[in-house]
Amino acid sequence: MKVLYAKESDQLSRWAADRFVEQLKKNPKSILGLATGSTPKKMYEYLGEDTRAGKVSFSQAKSYNLDEYVGLASDHPASYHYFMQEQLFSKVDFPEGANTLPNGVAEDLDKEALTYDRKIQEEGELDILILGIGSNAHIGFNEPNNVFEALTHVVELDESTRQDNSRFFEKIEDVPTHAISMGMRAIMQAKEVLLMAFGENKAEAIRDLVKGKVDPQVPASILQLHPNATILIDEGAASLLSEEDRESL
């Protein structure tokens, strides 16, 4: 696991966007793993600019997202379907039908989760996957737990996660209590993983991920076992690490 530091988060977003551009140049039919949240927004903005400038094309690529809230339809402004449409899909040239997210309003949610997992397995592996990290060290919505859940599953969200994400809703009661999350198998099978963390409220999670032991109570710590994972941290997120723990970008 490589830990890359830059003072400004925009430098890290640019670096991560460049990795996606390189991947798509190497294999235009890449299978991309995508995340929502505040962290990847700038990277998506860069990918939109690069597409407009003709530097990259998504016209043969496909994508799978990490997660979706249970109970929010795709046209709900706080749904991850909506977020992805706004932040990336409308800004780049994916073909119709190339983007898949779990369906949070499926009648049978467990079945939906397993079907989603199977779809990813049928693709082979994700070629490159972008991750954020929760202040509780979740990746996707794999919350601290006694085990690492292998498959896509329905998860009850931690109170801390609902609190962190309440900024996207009018009030805390509106934050869904459950989500469908990609499991650890698809995450660990991705050929390349980039995890970005910005700001001091991620510092503890980053310290535990980088310095702690592999522990399902620190879900992101599983990335210590990934053969090609890069952790991208800005000044705030790096604030509980020492300089030897990281390389400068």
One-letter amino acid of 13 = S
Choose, by CB under 6 A, the member of 9, 13, 23, 39 that binds ligand PGA. 39
**Is 143 in the active site?**
yes
**Is 10 in the active site?**
no
Subset of 118-177 contacting ligand PGA (CB under 6 A): 132-134
DSSP string, 26-38: H-TT-EEEE--SS
Shortest distance (Å) from residue 78 CB to ligand PGA: 12
Q: Compute the distance between CA of residue 83 and CA of residue 139 in angstroms, rounded to an integer.
A: 18
Under the criterion CB under 6 A, does residue 90 sit at the interface with ligand PGA?
Answer: no
Residue 12 burial (CB count, 10 A): 27
Residue 68 CB-density burial (10 A; 0-12 exposed, 13-18 middle, 19+ buried): buried
One-letter amino acid of 189 = Q
**Is 234 in the active site?**
no
Choose, by CB under 6 A, the member of 27, 38, 90, 177 that binds ligand PGA. 38
Shortest distance (Å) from residue 39 CB to ligand PGA: 3
Choose, by CB under 6 A, the member of 33, 37, 183, 219 that binds ligand PGA. 37
Residue closer to ligand PGA, measured from CB, 56 or 66? 66
Instruction: Give all strands (DSSP E) within 58-110, no chain letters.
Output: 62-65, 67-69, 99-100
Residue 185 CB-density burial (10 A; 0-12 exposed, 13-18 middle, 19+ buried): middle
Shortest distance (Å) from residue 190 CB to ligand PGA: 16
Residues at the contact surface with ligand PGA, assessed by CB under 6 A = 37-39, 132-134
| Catalytic residue set | 67, 136, 138, 143
